[in-house]
Chain A
Amino acid sequence: MSSMIDMVGAAILFGVLILAVGRVQGNLNQTMAQNTFNLNTQSEAIYVARLIEYEVSKAGYGVTGSKISVADDQSIAFKGAMTFGGAVDSVAYYIGEADTTTMNPNDFRFVRYAQSSGALSQRLVMTQFAISYFDSSNTKMTTPVTGNDLKSIRSINVKFRVESAEPVTDASTGLSNYNAVSWEKLIYPRNLGKPY
């Protein structure tokens, strides 16, 4: 009789333990997923940030004549040599079509075009991409900047937001949200002030 009680007790205990382990496992999986999305979002944001910083700061390098050809609030096209003493390339950034492959309803593709390598439409789960332009007196210019005003651009402010592809549920509150990283920088391409 006592061994029967032992067995029933053990079974109940085992069941409770399995439930607890299942719950812990579930929470851990959720946290891990959150961490993974965090990492992906951060990595993508840093990748784009470094790309933009690297290339925009070279706008006008090795260029005689027009340096920026398109200056709108969601697109930019400029010329510059991307390597030291290298050939001048034409580079453009603009937003592409909405990305329907993710659960995020707001993301769109980020397109980087280079004359040397063509257009590359990237799925970065980008939800915001905004550019503004400033002249030599640090006055914000009205977009789109066109014609002779393009010569007056001295600094470029780039802002973007990258989010997670899927919503992440907070284990404690149960609320779902998209992880996000925002990046903004005012870049002074040193070669823009060179005489035409």
Chain B
Amino acid sequence: MGRTALFLVLGLGMAMGFIGLQMYRADEAAIQTQYAYLKYMNARNLARAAVHAALRTYDKNETPTTNTKTYFNTGDFQLDSLASSENLDTLRMVTRGTYAESTYVMHLRLYRSTRPFPTVNAAIGIRAQPIHFSLSGKASVDGRAYDSTGTNLIGSGDKPGVTTMMASDSGTVATEGGTLINGSPAVKVDTSVSDPLEYLDIYKNNADYFYNTAGTYSGQNWGSSSNPVIVYCNAGDDTSFSIKFTGGVTGYGILVVRGNVQFNGNLNFFGLVIVDGFNTTVSFGAAGTPGIIGGLIVAGNAGASVELKGTGTDGKVVYSPDALAKAKNIGKLRYYTILDWYE
């Protein structure tokens, strides 16, 4: 009897164990099914992260590296290959995301465009009427096309030195500037000067340097020729020059000033300068050799004022299509159109 009971209990135990094993297998299979989907989703998200990382690298005016793994969220992603057209307009990339043993590969072809950019048809384009304009000392305006350094003439693509919205203002500028304004022609009426207002929010949201406090700034370096940046100054409408740049300021890209600004000392900006406000005043001080290589757009209400003084020998404002092109192609101002996307 005792032996029979023992066998019975043993048999029962084995049966229970077998049933338990079956249940465990069913549970495990369910978990594996769910986990396989999770792995697939994570791998896909990582492959997408590789695309975003590559595009953000372009935003910084850098070239993404291929076959370098980035570890993220217990997985990794990488750019398998990257090919671009000569002018970097068309990008082909293959990205890979790996999570556990799941791998997800994407093949895509993108078209790289630039956002709309203000049309600059002169060394100084004024979008306000009537205006006050004065030019004194050795300050000058040159609408001839220079290279991106502002030292060598290209030989073609010359623009007017100054454009205004109305003939009477052009007359004032021509009289005031005389031979200190150069260009093709020196002064011209142009009512098509871009309204910078429609671009300002984009520049504000993408600004690399933001000055929102009134003051005098010196010793500022904004970007470089190969890495142009966006500088946004919110000067307000204070006519006492709430933002003043003095001495040792060098910048590349786009400089936006909302309100009034005074450039003094050794300021050199390569690219597009936009000064926009209600009663805009742009003043180039007499000291040093402040200058803009590229183009300047001044917009504001009636009475906007441009005042150029100077003791230096360098041109105050020089038109440079090359410097403007670099500003236009700032990485973060580019956007991408999908030509093909396979995932």
B26 to chain A, nearest CB (A): 4
Q: Is the CB of B341 within 8 A of A190?
A: yes
A173 to chain B, nearest CB (A): 20
B76 to chain A, nearest CB (A): 22
- Residues from chain B with a CB closer than 8 A to the CB of A84 are 107, 342
- Residues from chain A with a CB closer than 8 A to the CB of B34 are 42, 46
CB contacts under 8 Å to B, within A27-79, are 28, 31-32, 35-36, 38-39, 42-43, 46, 49-50, 57-58, 61-62
B335 to chain A, nearest CB (A): 12
Cβ contact of B30, chosen from A39, A57, A191, cutoff 8 A: A39
Q: Is the CB of A38 within 8 A of B340?
A: no
A61 and B342 CA atoms in complex are apart in Å by 7
CB contacts under 8 Å to B, within A1-46, are 6, 10, 14, 17, 21, 24-25, 28, 31-32, 35-36, 38-39, 42-43, 46
- Across the interface, name the chain A residue whose C-beta is closest to B341: A190
Q: Is A194 an interface residue (CB 8 A)?
A: yes
CB contacts under 8 Å to A, within B33-77, are 33-34, 36-37, 40
Q: Is the CB of B1 within 8 A of A32?
A: no
CB contacts under 8 Å to A, within B1-54, are 1, 8, 12, 15-16, 19, 22-23, 26-27, 29-30, 33-34, 36-37, 40
- Across the interface, name the chain B residue whose C-beta is closest to A34: B26
Q: Is the CB of B340 within 8 A of A50?
A: no
A42 and B23 CA atoms in complex are apart in Å by 16
Q: Is the CB of A191 within 8 A of B1?
A: no
B244 to chain A, nearest CB (A): 43
- Residues from chain B with a CB closer than 8 A to the CB of A57 are 343
| Interface residues of B, dominant DSSP | helix
A182 to chain B, nearest CB (A): 14
Cβ contact of A193, chosen from B23, B26, B107, B338, cutoff 8 A: B338
Cβ contact of B1, chosen from A10, A36, A190, A194, cutoff 8 A: A10
- Residues from chain A with a CB closer than 8 A to the CB of B22 are 32
A43 and B37 CA atoms in complex are apart in Å by 10
A190 to chain B, nearest CB (A): 3
Known contacts A61-B342, A190-B341, A191-B341; A50 and B37 CB within 8 A of each other: yes
Q: Is the CB of A49 within 8 A of B37?
A: yes
13 contacts between A and B (CB under 8 A): A6-B1, A32-B22, A38-B26, A42-B33, A46-B36, A49-B37, A50-B40, A57-B343, A58-B342, A61-B342, A81-B342, A85-B342, A190-B343
Chain A residues with a Cβ under 8 A of chain B: 6, 10, 14, 17, 21, 24-25, 28, 31-32, 35-36, 38-39, 42-43, 46, 49-50, 57-58, 61-62, 81, 84-85, 190-191, 193-194
Sample of 16 further A-B pairs with CB below 8 A, known A24-B16, A35-B27, A191-B340: A6-B1, A14-B8, A17-B8, A17-B12, A21-B15, A28-B23, A31-B23, A36-B26, A39-B29, A42-B33, A50-B40, A61-B340, A61-B342, A190-B108, A193-B338, A194-B338
